[in-house]
Chains A and B, each alone.
Chain A
Amino acid sequence: MKLQAVLDLPVCKVLVKGDPKRELSKVFCCDLLSIAMGRAPENGVWVTVMGNKNTLAVAALTDIACIILAEGVALDEGTLRQAENEGIAILATELPVFDMALEVYKAGLS
């Protein structure tokens, strides 16, 4: 499944588009960056409520394709610009983490 399918989900707002043609591996939920650092899957979609600059750093270092900020969590402008440079998609939703991950799952990504 390609990133475009996640960008098309009506429950999310796209803040940074990333590379829509990027092939995704799986969906991953975690709010503890210490754990995410070791476990986040390469080319994964990461659903989290931890929205700070370090979230992006962890995503970049683990080759995450897309971060979805759940529960209405936001990211500052500087971090969004950095995400653009890193080629990582950033989406935001009002849904809780599990419900959001389920939407990605239903769209075809386990």
Chain B
Amino acid sequence: MDEQLTFTYTISGDDFTRAGEASSAIKNKLKLLGVNASAIRKVAIAMYEGEINMVIHANGGEITVTISDSEIKIVLADVGPGISDISKAMQEGYSTAPEEVRSLGFGAGMGLPNMKKYSDDFQIESVVGKGTTVTMKVFL
């Protein structure tokens, strides 16, 4: 059986400038573990987009990253407002981000599409009023 490493991060919902700290921490850990550079880049991008989404839309949440010999699994769980139309949210350019977020250079409707693009397996479940859980895998 694979040896697994699990890391959990609580993402604060009110501090946009701190979004990215968990992704940075994971990136550094993967570097130390000797994971190949292209897998690290995919994980860093996909997870950072997830972090940003949690801060913008869901007032924070929790990220669990599990690293095994064969894959890196990232589970992003929030208890935010949920997504009513997932297929629309998955379209590049579709965004419900507020103006102040756009003025910082985000909210262009690229978050979920980038998360899907940079992960090898992407699952999203959302219930309006309950929250959203995204599970992404990058295979090694």
Q: A34-B105, A37-B45, A60-B24 are in contact. Are A54 and B17 (CB under 8 A)?
A: yes
A33 touches B23 (CB 8 A): no
Per-residue CB contact flags for chain B residues 94-138 toward chain A (1 = under 8 Å, else 0) read 000000000011111111001001100000000000000000000
A61 touches B19 (CB 8 A): no
Contact of B106 among A33, A38, A53 (CB under 8 A): A33
Q: How far is the CA of A54 from the CA of B18 in the complex (A)?
A: 8
Main secondary structure of the interface of A (DSSP, over half): helix
A63 touches B41 (CB 8 A): yes
What band does the interface of chain A fall in when counting residues whose beta carbon is under 8 Å from B? 20 to 34
Q: Check if A9 is an interface residue, CB within 8 A of chain B.
A: no
Main secondary structure of the interface of B (DSSP, over half): helix
Q: How far is the CA of A53 from the CA of B15 in the complex (A)?
A: 12
Q: Nearest-CB distance from A64 to chain B (Å)?
A: 11
Q: Nearest-CB distance from B53 to chain A (Å)?
A: 11
Q: Nearest-CB distance from B11 to chain A (Å)?
A: 13
Instruction: Please give the number of chain B residues whose Cβ is less than 8 angstroms from any Cβ of chain A in the complex.
Output: 24
B105 touches A55 (CB 8 A): yes
Per-residue CB contact flags for chain A residues 10-45 toward chain B (1 = under 8 Å, else 0) read 000000000000000000000111111110001000
- A residues near B105, Cβ cutoff 8 Å: 31-34, 36, 50, 52, 54-55
Q: Check if A95 is an interface residue, CB within 8 A of chain B.
A: no
Within residues 37 to 92 of chain A, which ones have a CB less than 8 A from any CB in chain B?
37-38, 42, 50, 52-55, 57-58, 60-63
A42 touches B110 (CB 8 A): no
**Residue on A with the closest CB to B40?**
A63
Q: How far is the CA of A58 from the CA of B44 in the complex (A)?
A: 9
The 10 tightest CB contacts between A and B, nearest first, are A57-B20, A33-B105, A34-B108, A34-B110, A61-B44, A50-B105, A53-B17, A38-B114, A61-B48, A32-B108
Provide a sorted-by-A list of 22 A–B residue pairs whose CB atoms are within 8 angstroms. A32-B108, A33-B105, A34-B108, A37-B114, A38-B110, A42-B41, A52-B17, A52-B104, A52-B105, A54-B17, A55-B105, A57-B19, A57-B23, A60-B20, A60-B27, A61-B23, A61-B41, A61-B44, A61-B45, A62-B44, A62-B45, A63-B37
